[in-house]
Amino acid sequence: MSNIRSTGVIRRPRKLVATAVATAALTAVALVPTVGTADASVHAPAWKSFTWGTLRSGDCTMFSGARWTVYPDGTAYFRATVTSSDNHDAWLMRVRLKDANGAVLTALRNARIQDPASPTKFVKNLPDHTQRYVWTAKGNFDPGWYDDIRRMSLVNSC
């Protein structure tokens, strides 16, 4: 990914009110979106990135800078730092890809399914309240939705 350079404009993040649902968008109401391409002659960007400010749910905290990046081939990658004020918690997250009007296009499927009954659930176990943990995840979606993706929402709980 080092050969991809950003051609998007980075906007200052807006402050989030702590809620169980957060949304990032590729519009003027975006938190910190970036769009990049490896070849300026290509019409569709090579990736779309969605970044969040600090989110809290129950005892759990996801720190500012959590980022999902989606690609035209239907893959998505996530990286965040999380913690809990209590031992043996877990951060649970579902991700929805949305169009410019905020309509849900599809939910990301966990590429490393942790619960076969719920393939769209992402889970990070937080065993020790004194530690911060790096959370990485990979998701998949139908690549036919890529051009329409403008927003993303997280539904999370602890």
Determine the Cα–Cα distance for residues 67 and 32; give it in Å rounded to an integer.
9
Give exposure, 36-65, as e/b (b: 16+ Cβ within 10 Å).
bbeeeeeeebbbbbbbbbebebeebbbebe
Helix (H, G, I), strand (E, B) or coil at 148: helix
Q: Domain ranges for the chain, please list them.
A: 5-157
Determine the Cα–Cα distance for residues 38 and 82; give it in Å rounded to an integer.
31
Residue with tokens 């649970």: 92
- Over residues 96-150, the pLDDT tens digits come to 999 999 999 999 999 998 888 999 999 999 999 999 999 999 999 999 999 999 9
Helix (H, G, I), strand (E, B) or coil at 141: coil
Average pLDDT score over residue span 85-95: 95
Quote the pTM value. 0.74
* Token pair listed for 40: 């300026």
